[in-house]
Structure 1
Amino acid sequence: MYKISFQNLTAKIVAVGAILSASSLWAEPQHGIAMYGAPQLPPDFVSLPYANPDAPTGGKIVTGELGSYDSLNPLILKGTAPWQLRSLAYESLMGRNWDEPFALYGLLAESIETGPNREWVEFTLRPEARFSDGAPVTVEDVMWSYEILGTKGHPRYRGLWGQIESMEQTGDRSVRFTFNVDNPELALIVGWRPILQKAQWDGLDFENSSLDLVPISSAPYVIGDYEAGRYVELTRNPDYWGKDLPFRNGTDNLDTIRLEFFADDTALFEAFKSGIINTIRETNAEKWKTQYDFPAVRNGDIVLSEVGHQRPTGITGFVMNMRQPEFADWRVREAMIHAFNFEYINDTLTGGAQPRITSYFGNSQLGMREGPAEGLVKDLLTPFADDLLPGALEGYTLPVSDGTARNRKNLAKAIDLMAEAGWTVQDGVMKNAEGEPFVFEILLQQGQGENVTMAEIFIRALERMGITAVVNMIDPAQYKERTTRFDFQMTAYRRGMSLSPGNEQFGYWGIDSADQEGSMNWMGVKSPAVDAMINALLGAETRDGFLAATRALDRVLTTGRYVIPVQDRYAVSRIAHAKELTYPDTLPIYGDWLGFQPDVWWWEDK
């Protein structure tokens, strides 16, 4: 059977769009904070709107993960840690409501207060807040956490530290951060950093930790058991300090969360069919339609659920590294997009059932509109007209093939583009003026079967252009090391987008992140227009200004031709799960995102 959960969520986004001046809202401590206007939930809210306050506790969820891990510390650059540990094993001063584009509510902190222009923010800790060993969460722990993450943590945490002018204890349970830049989002970013226990790390090398230390944190779950590279099991802490908080009401219902690791997606799927894991997300519409008809589904032991959302598509595809000379020229990147026969590939893999990603913020109000830039969007882009690539102002659409394997028209266009960039076919081989052949590597992580299939079809098309491309499959540890150092020419890439883009955009494609190892700017974007659009969305004082800046950013990124977009695997979340695993009827606007599974799911014997 199918349990289908779609709902019209637009009204919730529009409701949050009433923009008020921040200076009128924060004259005294508050229970929450929103990027624009007041937070949606009142001070006396009883639970998050998509949580079930009456959900029972108990049961176990077992997920399947591709690859391996060699660290339990997701907060540093070294090693590979299960990504879920950041949200499951740590708490922050504030917690996210995933039914609002960007609002935070008190978690470790009982209140938040800001200056009239958000030039500073102050948090007051809850007196009952405790780590899993029973020790209180103190201001000293908070201040140490920000300093260690800002100086020794993963690069994604270090940018904030440079924007903090001072950090001071202002009371027994209160701490104030004062900023050295005019950036109203910083008040929210500070509230969403993980808080660690300082005493656990005394005398230890934080940035080089791996499996030698199980983190002590204040979160509802603790790591109970693990075996390197095979599984991690987290158990619900019966003495969790915050179990009676309204923010936690109806969340963290499952007793056990177990992450099982597999070498490839075939092994993972077989593990699900045999009951080793009891939930799986399927991103291939054709596979969902044709391969989920095994006995456990037919007899009702497995439920097939489809969960809708209104968040942006993000970008998924094959990223081209502009640091490498092969892809420095935009015409070469455009040629690759023409040579990538999406319609044929999509039909081969999904029966043509999944739409293509057309821009970074597609499927949402934040995405660029068809046709020429107009109004505020045009006003923002015009000063950069001489530097923008074709299509940013005039309008841009991805090439569409005839759906056949030959893709003659688009390949001919690709060859013309290569010639414009100085590459011509000589004796059947694509070469430059110096006679050097166009050869590149597509770097992929082991176990990514669908990406391999797409790459192989792509390679056959490139061969008809005289281009040699090879797939190099490497293990997860090597893959992380090479992508961290930007040591690739082309590779698979995924970057999800939220309804509240902000400072993180600099880390994704800002100029400063292009040379920062470990950043998500894998393509190596160094565009003044991109940075200007990010600054515009950060400084927007009205919702119209925010929308215009984001749509303008979308145009610059999309027409940069940095990624060959593939099908939108996440337009709808397809989750197959044990019938006992249950989720609320009310969905957050983000759908199946952080804060959904396993956070608000529960086990119900049926």
Structure 2
Amino acid sequence: MLRRFAAILSLACAACPAAPGPAARAQDAGARISGALAMHGAPALPPGFRAFPYADPDAKKGGVVRIGALGAFDNLNPYGVNAGSTALGLIGPVYQSLLARNLDEPFSLYGLVAESVETDDARDFVTFRLDPRAHFSDGVAITAADVVFSFNLLKRRGRPQTRAAFALVAGVSAPDARTVRFDLTGANDRELPLILALTPVLPAHALAEQAFADNGLAVPLGSGPYKVAEVKPGERLVLVRDPDYWGRDLPTTRGMYNFDRVEYLYGRDDNGLFEAFKAGLIDYREEGDPRRWAKAYHFPAREKGEVAVEALPLGGPKGMEALAFNTRRDLFADARLREALAMMFDFEWLNAKLFDGFFTRTKSFFDASDLSAFGRPADAAERALLAPFPGAVRADIFEGRWAPPASDGSGRDRDMARRALELAEQAGWQMQDGALRRDGRPLSFEIMTRTRDEERIALTYAGQLRRIGVEARVRPVDDAQYQRRRQRFDFDMTFALWQASASPGNEQRNRWSAEAAEREGSYNFSGAREPALDAMIAALAAAQSHEDFTAAVRALDRVLLSGFYAVPLFHRDAQWIAYRRRIGHPARLPRFAQPPFGEALETWSVR
């Protein structure tokens, strides 16, 4: 699932704080100080708003919530290189950022540790003014030195995508104890001020660089509404409310973080977590198995009215969950072979037989949104962007005619197999002695999986590939090995999730740039190295209008679809949740959250 910056926080800025000194003001002529910052256009909420639209400012405080979590964890550092195996619930409840996201807008940020933000039209700089009330949970005040420390530490030791983004910053300075200024001259990246605004503020007085790099289990010190109270590695994490939390009266903390105690209970088997929920040991559960959702939730506690189940609409683009080809392998160098192998994924049969028809085939990296290229001919703005890269987009994708192949649902569609073999032959592979071969060598590769659900899908796909003489071996691995091999790109094919937001930006560099293809730990699992991808990412980052931005994202989508870097899987149109009725959520849902409820159930409360 999505690891997002979950601090849903605030600013009331009817009277903005004092600006930096005269010299800075002269240099920044034309800049504006505000309580919020939007990627495009103006933020939606006015100064002095009471609460985010999806929060209940009168929510009851108190009580305990127990949340089941599948898998395990081995560290408490969500910002280090091993963040994929970090415990849940730390970003937002424990660690806070300078500004925080309103999930009712595509990408707008409002104040938290920083009470105001200043930038110019070109976004050549950004200055943050800290809230004088802000302090860490040990009582030490947050100062500009902590922000500079956090930036430099993450630039040296943070996740690869963070280091890549922070490398674009020309300089950082602290004119006084409450002011931090970032010089962005030459970055040409309008999203960069927002990325910096989501920087976690780490305690310079209590965090050594080596301890951060070790990604250990030391109890973290943050500035959020909760403290870590109990850690049982891989099994249990407990957060308790900080009675001295400095931001409790900020306008957009109203209705947020309402429980006194949040317990994360880990389990390596989802069936076991489901049984724990049925028995009342867990209060909230998100269901991912359609058959279980359809048939297994009629148990006594629900019949007695103690448990509620809901299918909640998922807002925003659906993103891409897929089986990623590792094109660093010579085997997958030819896009025609990749397309042929993708053609053998029989979604129609799989959806009917394994998933009771609950899923929708994913057709775009920004599916079900205005940012998707699927079904749309390229407009003039897209064509202008793509003109320097002839051949980067296939004609049918350019014209909006392409769609993932649909089978007859029988599981043995002969026409689909024939078309796949024709494509494979164009790539130099021939059927010989029951196997697809090139230069006498059979086509064989490994699919790395982590969960039983992934294994089940991979085994089904492997059976479909055997029909055209391809041997796909399914290799289940544990969490630690999975993370290590994925970070080093030590796989032939594996499951990948590229989540989408309503405002894609700098993260696309970490997913699709040529530089990321060579950098361990990046999300360029497929190893894409296409100049058109780099150019489209640069275009969307520099876009000043929503129209130019939309054109750049659609053009990026077309290049990705044309590359056949992955086998598109499927997505749900709803989030399936079940919970004990002693807790609940506000009626209003955030428009752009994926999913609407995050790891900490920020807007939930006891009933």
Q: TM-score, normalised by structure 1?
A: 0.92
SS of corresponding position for 1:199: coil
1: CA distance, partners of 2:376 / 2:196: 39
Q: 1:26 to 1:516 in 2, by over 3 A?
A: farther
Q: Which moved more, 1:395-404 or 1:288-297?
A: 288-297
Q: Contact conserved, 1:271 with 1:277, CA < 8 A, in 2?
A: yes
In the alignment, what sits opposite 1:29?
33
Q: Compute the displacement of 1:204 (Å).
A: 4.0
SS of corresponding position for 1:29: strand
2: CA distance, partners of 1:594 / 1:294: 26
In the alignment, what sits opposite 1:208?
214
Cα offsets for 1:181-218 (capped at 9, x unmatched)? 2222211111101110011124743211311x111000
SS of corresponding position for 1:141: helix
In the alignment, what sits opposite 1:522?
525
Divergent runs of 4+, >6 A: none
Q: 1:250 to 1:596 in 2, by over 3 A?
A: farther
Q: Contact conserved, 2:93 with 2:600, CA < 8 A, in 1?
A: no
The 5 A counterparts of 1:424-463 are: 424-433=430-439, 435-445=440-450, 448-463=451-466
Q: Tell me which amino acid in the other structure corresponds to 1:210.
A: G
2: CA distance, partners of 1:25 / 1:437: 66
Q: Contact conserved, 1:231 with 1:259, CA < 8 A, in 2?
A: yes
Q: Tell me which amino acid in the other structure corresponds to 2:557.
A: D
Q: 1:604 to 1:376 in 2, by over 3 A?
A: same
Task: Establish whether residue 187 from structure 1 lines up as the match of residue 193 from structure 2.
Answer: yes
Q: Tell me which amino acid in the other structure corresponds to 1:173.
A: R
Q: Which moved more, 1:224-233 or 1:530-539?
A: 530-539
1: CA distance, partners of 2:396 / 2:227: 50
Which of 583, 586, 590 is equivalent to 2:585? 583
Q: Which moved more, 1:280-289 or 1:315-324?
A: 280-289
Q: How many residues align?
A: 578
Q: TM-score, normalised by structure 2?
A: 0.92
Q: Compute the displacement of 1:162 (Å).
A: 1.1
Task: Establish whether residue 127 from structure 1 lines up as the match of residue 132 from structure 2.
Answer: yes
Q: Contact conserved, 1:78 with 1:207, CA < 8 A, in 2?
A: no
In the alignment, what sits opposite 1:544?
547
Q: Tell me which amino acid in the other structure corresponds to 2:273.
A: L
Unaligned runs of 5+ in 2: 1-27
Which of 395, 399, 402 is equivalent to 2:405? 399
The 5 A counterparts of 1:546-565 are: 546-565=549-568
In the alignment, what sits opposite 1:476?
479
Which of 57, 77, 81 is equivalent to 2:61? 57
Q: Contact conserved, 2:76 with 2:219, CA < 8 A, in 1?
A: yes
In the alignment, what sits opposite 2:119?
114
Cα offsets for 1:138-160 (capped at 9, x unmatched)? 11111000000001111121012
Q: Contact conserved, 2:374 with 2:403, CA < 8 A, in 1?
A: no
Cα offsets for 1:475-502 (capped at 9, x unmatched)? 1011000000010111111121000111
Which of 320, 323, 339 is equivalent to 1:334? 339
Q: Tell me which amino acid in the other structure corresponds to 2:144.
A: V
Unaligned runs of 5+ in 1: 1-23
Q: 1:600 to 1:356 in 2, by over 3 A?
A: same
SS of corresponding position for 1:456: helix
The share of aligned pairs that are identical, in percent, is 38
In the alignment, what sits opposite 1:15?
none
1: CA distance, partners of 2:434 / 2:121: 67
SS of corresponding position for 1:477: helix
In the alignment, what sits opposite 1:316?
321
The 5 A counterparts of 1:309-388 are: 309-370=314-375, 372-388=377-393
1: CA distance, partners of 2:589 / 2:330: 46
Q: Which moved more, 1:269-278 or 1:497-506?
A: 269-278
In the alignment, what sits opposite 1:16?
none
In the alignment, what sits opposite 1:256?
261
Q: Compute the displacement of 1:62 (Å).
A: 1.9
Which of 296, 309, 319 is equivalent to 1:291? 296
2: CA distance, partners of 1:35 / 1:371: 25
1: CA distance, partners of 2:413 / 2:452: 23
Q: Contact conserved, 1:63 with 1:259, CA < 8 A, in 2?
A: yes
The 5 A counterparts of 1:96-175 are: 96-175=101-180
Q: Contact conserved, 1:342 with 1:401, CA < 8 A, in 2?
A: yes
CA RMSD of aligned residues (A): 1.9
Q: Contact conserved, 1:514 with 1:521, CA < 8 A, in 2?
A: yes
1: CA distance, partners of 2:91 / 2:330: 36
Q: Compute the displacement of 1:83 (Å).
A: 4.6
Q: Compute the displacement of 1:276 (Å).
A: 2.1
